[in-house]
Amino acid sequence: MDAPQTFIFATLDELAEAAAVQITTAIKAAVQERGHCLIALSGGNIPPRVHHIISILPLRTQIPWHALSIIWVDERYVPFDSPDSNYLLARQTLLDHIPIPSDQIYPVPTYYATPELAATVYDRQIQALLATHGGQIDIAILGMGADGHTASLFPNHPALNAAANQHVIAVSNAPKPPPTRISLTPSVLNRSRLVLFLVAGADKAAMLAAALHGPHTPTDIPAQIIHPTNGQVVWMLDTDAAANL
């Protein structure tokens, strides 16, 4: 892995704008080099802003939507129409506004009877998608909580120890509500070509400094577990989150 890059922006709007441009550039490069692009979306507060920017001009017409496949970094185990659904969030802020074929959108199938079953089915889907995308996620968009979690990988949680050949895991007792979730595992996230961490807000400042410059303790700080073997990590921060760096 190349050394992580860090970019700091004066405002959340500037951060979102820069992230949208970076995502657009990475999608175009992937499609130019390999003919298609696999992107993994997150929930949280920043992605909706980024989604909006890529779904309107000028970026909207620059993105080869026909060559894009969309998966989720993590999902809450709730119905598709729940206000807690990361899929619904993406629909409202992105998917309903872009010309992407619906069969290239792969939401976590939360309609299965148990989160474990949903995770197993999604695991197979992710495995199949990776097989047609050179074994890598082209772009993974991640956030980080003030407790150091990323995706739905929480501190000191068993999901951190998922087997290396497991792509997706069901998560129970998550400290961030809702408590039952489904997440990509560290091993598959570490097969990303580009990881974009989008982090804003003063409440993240102490943890961000620990994640980037503190001792390597990924069990306590799951964001530290992200280090793609063949990829680049880029941290995009606002000045509040970066205050302690």
Binding site for ligand 6PG (CB under 6 A): 42-46, 73-74, 86, 143-145, 150-152, 176
Nearer to ligand 6PG among residue 29 and residue 146 (C-beta): 146
Q: How far is the CB of 44 from ligand 6PG (least distance, A)?
A: 3
Nearer to ligand 6PG among residue 145 and residue 231 (C-beta): 145
Q: How far is the CB of 37 from ligand 6PG (least distance, A)?
A: 20
> Which of 212, 213, 229 is closest to 2 using CA atoms?
229
Nearer to ligand 6PG among residue 67 and residue 144 (C-beta): 144
Q: How far is the CB of 176 from ligand 6PG (least distance, A)?
A: 6
By beta-carbon distance, which residue lies closest to ligand 6PG? 143
Q: How far is the CB of 238 from ligand 6PG (least distance, A)?
A: 11
Nearer to ligand 6PG among residue 109 and residue 134 (C-beta): 109
